[in-house]
Amino acid sequence: MKRFAVEFSDEAIADLDASFEWGCEVWGAPQAAKWYFEIRDRITEMLSKSPLGCPLAPQQHRYRAETRVLSIDRYNVLFHLEGKLVTILHIRGPFTKR
């Protein structure tokens, strides 16, 4: 049962795209595409059900609104929650240099 709407910010999409490009170099395009859709769907599924179950992000002081983090494998998904809307800010993983 989905209770929250989930949207990806432009920055989060750029993070996923960068991860896909990294995956193409490391695993090849078919495996990178499979991963891309799996991680996107997992994020959406988990955050549409229970975003409040995620802890506050250690770097939340950098944001003006309360920021939480969902950890999936080696990835940290930073997001805001406003009412019934979850906005994904960034997706950090081994492909990022920041």
Interval 28-82: pLDDT, tens: 999 999 999 999 999 999 999 999 999 999 887 887 788 999 999 889 999 999 9
Q: Where are the domains of the chain?
A: 5-92
The pLDDT value recorded for residue 97 is 57
The pLDDT value recorded for residue 64 is 79
89 within 8 A of 12, measured Cβ to Cβ: yes
The pLDDT value recorded for residue 98 is 47
- Model confidence at 96, pLDDT cuts 50, 70, 90, reads low
- Model confidence at 1, pLDDT cuts 50, 70, 90, reads low
The Cα–Cα gap between 36 and 52 comes to 24
CA distances from 80 to 21, 51, 67, 74 (A): 26, 9, 5, 20
Whether domain 5-92 has CATH 3.40.50.10860: the reply is no
pTM confidence score: 0.86
89 within 8 A of 98, measured Cβ to Cβ: no
Report the DSSP pairing between strands 5-8 and 85-92. parallel
Averaged pLDDT, 71-95: 91
The pLDDT value recorded for residue 61 is 81
